[in-house]
Structure 1
Amino acid sequence: MRLKTKLSIGIGFLFIAILISGILGIYSIHQLKKDARLILEDNYETLVYSNNMLSLMDRVPFDSAVLREFNDNLVKQEANITERGEAAATAAVRNIYEQLKHHPDNDSLQSIIRRKIYQINTANQQAIFRKNTLAESNARRFSNFTMIIFGFLALIAFTLAVNFPGIISEPVKALSDGIKAIVNKDYSKRIRISQHDEFGELAQAFNSMAEKLDEYEHSNLAKIKFEKSRIDTIINQMNDGIIGLDESRNLLFLNKVAEKLLGLREVEIMGQYAPDIAVNNDLMRSLLKTDSPVKELKIFADQKESYFHLDILNVTNNEKVIGQVIVLRNITPFHELNEAKTNFIATISHELKTPIASIKMSAQLLTDTRVGAVNREQEELVKSIADDANRLLKITSELLNISQVETGHIQLKIEPVFPDIIIDNATNTVSALAQQKNIAIRIHNNTHAHKIMTDPEKTAWVLTNFLTNAVKYSPEDGEIDLTTSIRNNSVEFSVADHGRGIEEKYLSRIFDRYFKVPGTPEKVGTGLGLSISREFIEAQGGTIWVDSTLGEGSTFGFTLPLFTAE
């Protein structure tokens, strides 16, 4: 049965019960009113008329006024004859009354008329008693019938009042509990409703939905658990430390490598606020720095110093950051290889310097006439040997310098020095090379009487490198400008040439190791000179820079701090 039908039946029954109760009440009241009216209108009025006539019979004298009033009551009685025997008694009273009008003092007639009036009273009193008994019987019958009907209707209404709200409230409550369970992801919840109405259909639809959600949840949960297990296995097999944080920076996971590096166990700190962990953990504190995070960390792990590269990856969803993954990539093998390479280069370079110096000395002895004269061809060969020896000596010196830089063992002798000394050393070194191309080096020294804090040997090497490159890339009969000036408590050295210049896209890489501008002949340098220059200058607290325009020339420069006497 449909819910609408149930509601219609329940409300309709209540309406019918109210209607029946109203009709019965109205009918009972009407019937009682009718019985009362019969008693009052018929019998009671007759008694009034009879009593009035008896009262008039007691008056003395029995004159015409009394007779006239007596006649009025008798006329009314004649119009109100309702009981058996009442008509004969009333006719007898009329007959005697007619006789009495002529003989008012006749006692015999008065006695007879009194007896007839008493007969009328007796008949009406008996009728009143009979009708009253009948009225009581009717009232009792109607009362019993009404009570039976009311009791039956009340019982049914009580049954509806007790059970009917449950027909609606219980399914609603069951559906509400089911919806709450679904909200809490309890997809095993089912609603048991046996009603064959809209609630029953709704319960079936709910159960179908919960079953589908349960299947979907278990299938997805199995996949998620499998994928999580696989990802955990992969992460734990990696040599890199991996730490996961949620959007509130609470710890989600960390792999075995991260546990070793942090000295913490995942199960002990899972779900904790990462900055709280960092209070007692130096490594975690370094990893959480957001202002200037360190990209390379040296950590004691596996009974040795290891090197790790730090990467912080943001996890986003719809362009909103929902977490972070911190990756500590183990670069120790690369450091070890680089150190081995540096040691190898340093060893080879150091070992090559002795035979190269011997070759250079031998070539110089061959040009000495005291050893013996050489012809023109031999002189050119000796010169070629000397040039190659100088070039090899320069390369080995650069390799030694770069190995020194890479090992972090740059030995500096910082002292106050006049810039003129550095300028003289550098220009004297490249003067012969400049003369070969007839290039003039113009010096613009604006730092007289000022000293700089520097290692004069290293700084002269850098300036010599700048001048050598300027000579190499300048056209013959050209000019090179060497300028010094005071810049914000520093002395700036700059070397400007008018060669072919450098394209702007290569300027950011010009100080990188082994970098050569495309198009540069292979025989020119090793690509280490500018890189070593930057290391030397920055190690002294200075800065190095380049400015160049293709086709117009280049300007290389560096700054060093001024010496201030305390």
Structure 2
Amino acid sequence: MKIKTKLSLGLGFLFSVILLLAGLGTYYTIRLAGEAKEVLKNNYESLENAKNMLRATDALLLSDSASYLLALKTFETSLQRQLNNITEIGEQGATFTIKENFDLLKETLTAKKEQGATNHQIAVIRQHLYQLTDINLQAIIRKSQAAQNAAERVSMYLILIGSFSTLITFAFILYFPGYIANPVRELTESIKQIANRNYRQRLHFKAGNEFGELADSFNQMAQKLDEYEHSNLAQIMFEKRRIEAIINNMSDAIIGLDENRTILFSNHEATLLLGLTEADLVGKYAPDVALQNDLLRHLLSENGTSPIKIGSPEKESYFAKEVVAIQLPPTEAGKKIGQVIILKNITQFRELDLAKTNFIATISHELKTPISSVKLSLKLLRDERIGSLNPEQQRLLEYISEDSERLLRITGELLNLAQVETGNIQLHYRPIHPKEIINYACQTIQLQAAQKQVNLEVNLSEDLPPVHTDLEKTAWVLVNFLSNAIRFSSQAGTIYIRASYTTSQGKQFVCFSVQDFGRGIEARYKDRIFDKFFQIPDADALKGGTGLGLAISKEFITAQGGDIWVESQLGAGSTFSFSLPVV
């Protein structure tokens, strides 16, 4: 039987019990009311008639002949009513006797016989009236007792039926909810067991209803999950051991954390660097372990990108930290479930970079002397006192002069780069007005702008405060911006140079910007434009560039506590900007 049918039957049963109790109570109440009404109606009328006839006889005994007619009429009227209201046993005989004696009394009164005969007849009538009254009183008592007995029987019936209905209803309330709730509770507990990977859990509902179908479906699901678990467990364990072996054999130090920062794994290289065993790390709360380990505390709190130096008795080693956030796929809300900290040993690359820096510094310094000699020779060759040159020779000298200038610029940038990388930037700070920096740069670049007929438009905000900076280094950055802008601007174009006051995070800055209307920069290259030796892959842009100018500019500005950035849109030009703190 379906659960819906059982619910309908149960509720229908309760409804039937309510109707039964209501119907019985209404029936017996109406019945008792009817019996009580009959008692009041019939016997009360008989008593009323007897009382009126007794009063009439009293009037006959006490009144004169003038009142006989009224008393007789009253008696006769009441007697006629009584003749029409005979309902009790013996009441008919008493009533007819009264009628006979009343008829004799009327004859006596009509014949005007002696008073003694009249009184005797009235006494007989009164005796029978008392008998009639007694019959009705006894009937009233008898009917009242019968009504009381009936009421007692009705009460007993209602109590018995109500008690039986109460017991049935109580049993229904006690057991029927359990019939519905117990399978649901058992199903809930079984689902919790399945969630805890207890796939041997089964439901045992024998009912042939929806719960039985639910139990069959649940048992089939649990069986499939159990089969899947056992069929894949060995493969999963093998894959787990293989991943652990791969992690332990990697040359980089690797530490895995879950979303609660509990250490999940740590390979051999990580344990060596931390000076701890695997048992000291795996399963422990990382911040607690970090309290006793400086390196781990540094790994958990350091967010910078600078290399981490780790000392050892043999030599100092450098490591680059990379934090990889592990997230669920977007289909599962992309929730973060942990992170992996990777320490890559970059000691060899650092040593090579240092050697490269020293080599660049040495070779750049050594190249400046012969380049200066070449420039001096070029100057002597141009002196007409030595001799005249034909146009072809003049043209060759121009080429040699341009190449020597380019070599000198490259060696200068390489020396600046070596100075930056070795951390030996020599900065001479002093308060300088932004207008002085812009004038310095514009005068330096004026000849190059005039050759291409580029107009330099300077826009300065009023009352700019002085900045705390190195004039030559800052002007060099602005010259680099202007040089690039002239190179990428069209013939007879315009370049805007601006300086304005700004604030950031409660600090005051002056922002310098150079805007051109050249080809612009693609979005994919904007993040790399300040990297060393990076050039936009464009044949026109490669002329005369080294890929070092912007990288050196970034180092100069950041060393002075400022910031540098670029805004560009392909086909609409670029705006290179940097900011310096106010004095």
Shorter-chain-normalised TM-score: which range?
A: 0.5 to 0.7
- Would the alpha carbon gap of residues 299 and 217 (structure 1) be closer, same or farther in structure 2, given more than 3 Å must change? farther
- Would the alpha carbon gap of residues 442 and 7 (structure 1) be closer, same or farther in structure 2, given more than 3 Å must change? farther
> Counterpart amino acid of 2:243?
I
Deviations 1:338-374 (A, max 9, x none): 99xxxxxxxxxxxxxxxxxxxxxxxxxxxxxxxxxxx
- Would the alpha carbon gap of residues 242 and 140 (structure 1) be closer, same or farther in structure 2, given more than 3 Å must change? closer
Question: Which residue of structure 2 aligns with residue 450 of structure 1?
Answer: none
Question: Which residue of structure 2 aligns with residue 481 of structure 1?
Answer: 401
CA contact (8 A) 1:261 1:299 kept: no
Question: Which residue of structure 1 aligns with residue 129 of structure 2?
Answer: 117
Question: Which residue of structure 1 aligns with residue 340 of structure 2?
Answer: 325
Q: Does 1:76 align with 2:111?
A: no
Alpha-carbon separation, structure 2, partners of 1:409 and 1:552: 25
CA contact (8 A) 1:496 1:553 kept: no
Structure-to-structure mapping, 1:254-403, within 5 angstroms: 254-270=266-282, 281=293, 283-284=295-296, 289-294=302-307, 300=312, 304-305=314-315, 310=320, 312=322, 314-317=324-327, 318=329, 323-328=338-343
- Would the alpha carbon gap of residues 325 and 15 (structure 1) be closer, same or farther in structure 2, given more than 3 Å must change? closer
Alpha-carbon separation, structure 2, partners of 1:20 and 1:127: 34
Q: Does 1:87 align with 2:92?
A: yes
CA contact (8 A) 1:312 1:324 kept: no
Q: Secondary structure at the match of 1:225?
A: helix
Question: Which residue of structure 1 aligns with residue 239 of structure 2?
Answer: 227
Deviation at 1:190, TM superposition (A): 4.5
> Counterpart amino acid of 1:236?
N
Alpha-carbon separation, structure 2, partners of 1:116 and 1:441: 176
Q: Secondary structure at the match of 1:100?
A: helix
- Would the alpha carbon gap of residues 186 and 119 (structure 1) be closer, same or farther in structure 2, given more than 3 Å must change? same
Question: Which residue of structure 2 aligns with residue 2 of structure 1?
Answer: 2
Q: For the aligned residues, what is the CA RMSD?
A: 5.2
Deviation at 1:131, TM superposition (A): 3.5
Q: Secondary structure at the match of 2:239?
A: helix
Alpha-carbon separation, structure 2, partners of 1:181 and 1:31: 63
Deviation at 1:440, TM superposition (A): 3.9
Deviation at 1:165, TM superposition (A): 2.3
Question: Which residue of structure 2 aligns with residue 139 of structure 1?
Answer: 151
CA contact (8 A) 1:495 1:555 kept: no
CA contact (8 A) 2:88 2:139 kept: yes
Alpha-carbon separation, structure 2, partners of 1:91 and 1:174: 85
Alpha-carbon separation, structure 2, partners of 1:65 and 1:315: 124
Question: Which residue of structure 2 aligns with residue 25 of structure 1?
Answer: 25
CA contact (8 A) 1:83 1:123 kept: yes
Deviations 1:496-540 (A, max 9, x none): 379xxxxxxxx9xx99xxxxxxxxxxxxxxxxxx99998799769
Q: Secondary structure at the match of 2:264?
A: strand
CA contact (8 A) 1:89 1:117 kept: yes
CA contact (8 A) 2:358 2:418 kept: no
Give 1 or 2 for the bigger CA radius of gyration.
1
Q: Secondary structure at the match of 1:107?
A: helix
Question: Which residue of structure 1 aligns with residue 179 of structure 2?
Answer: 167
Question: Which residue of structure 1 aligns with residue 451 of structure 2?
Answer: none
CA contact (8 A) 1:497 1:554 kept: no
Deviation at 1:78, TM superposition (A): 0.9
Deviations 1:142-175 (A, max 9, x none): 3333332222222211211222222233333334
- Would the alpha carbon gap of residues 173 and 285 (structure 1) be closer, same or farther in structure 2, given more than 3 Å must change? closer
Question: Which residue of structure 1 aligns with residue 106 of structure 2?
Answer: 101
CA contact (8 A) 2:361 2:418 kept: no
Alpha-carbon separation, structure 2, partners of 1:555 and 1:202: 75
- Would the alpha carbon gap of residues 15 and 322 (structure 1) be closer, same or farther in structure 2, given more than 3 Å must change? closer
- Identical pairs, percent: 36
Q: Does 1:496 align with 2:405?
A: yes
Question: Which residues of structure 2 form unaligned runs of 5+?
Answer: 110-114, 383-393, 427-531, 557-583
Deviation at 1:124, TM superposition (A): 3.2
Question: Which residue of structure 2 aligns with residue 463 of structure 1?
Answer: none
Aligned pair count reads: 411
CA contact (8 A) 1:315 1:323 kept: yes
TM-score, length-normalised on structure 2?
0.56
Runs of 4+ in 1 over 6 A off after TM superposition: 406-412, 441-444, 474-478, 530-540, 545-559
TM-score, length-normalised on structure 1?
0.57
- Would the alpha carbon gap of residues 23 and 409 (structure 1) be closer, same or farther in structure 2, given more than 3 Å must change? closer
- Would the alpha carbon gap of residues 137 and 553 (structure 1) be closer, same or farther in structure 2, given more than 3 Å must change? closer
Q: Secondary structure at the match of 1:164?
A: helix
Deviation at 1:307, TM superposition (A): 5.3
CA contact (8 A) 1:262 1:281 kept: yes
Please say which of residues 71-80 and 150-159 is displaced more in the overlay.
Answer: 150-159
